[in-house]
Amino acid sequence: MLILLLLISWGLLLIATVRGILIHQDKQVVKALIICRCLYLVILVLEVLLGFQQFAHHPGLVSASFIMTVVAVSLIDITFQRKFMGMLSIAVAGATLISIVIAICLLIPFL
């Protein structure tokens, strides 16, 4: 159940991030940023719960998943900050999306 909630949250976060990257209206970008921040707070809480639940069985995978979550959250904030400044590059946006996909892939072995 916890893994399913994490996967759904990551999927919604991926959709909200892509939407925020592609939209050109500032008000809509702010809405996407707020949605992203709410989702990644939920994801961080769920990752901590996953860590408590699965660390004894998969310490390396749980650690890698949590580290990748922190990296993805950091890149999402950097991406939106650069979007607001008008300096968003394809490399930063691509790295953000790739980090989200990697974080999702790290959850698949827990299924």
What is the signed CA dihedral for 64, 98, 3, 43, rounded to 10 degrees? 80
Residue 16, pLDDT score = 97
Predicted confidence band of residue 71 (pLDDT cuts 50, 70, 90):
very high
68's enclosing H/E stretch is helix 59-85
Asked if the model's pLDDT at residue 4 lies above 90, the reply is yes
Mean pLDDT in residue range 75-84: 96
Render the burial of 5-42: b for 16+ CB within 10 Å, e for the rest. Answer: ebeebbebbbebbeebbeeeeeeebeebbebbbebbeb
Mean pLDDT in residue range 81-100: 96
Asked if the model's pLDDT at residue 111 lies above 90, the reply is no
Residue 89, pLDDT score = 95
Residue 28, pLDDT score = 95
Contact 3, 107 (CB under 8 A): yes
Mean pLDDT in residue range 77-81: 97
**Whole-angstrom distance, CA of residue 51 vs CA of residue 55:** 5
Q: What percentage of the chain carries pLDDT values higher than 90?
A: 96
What SS3 state is found at 111? coil
Per-residue model confidence as pLDDT tens digits over 18-64: 999 999 999 999 999 999 999 999 999 999 999 999 999 999 999 99
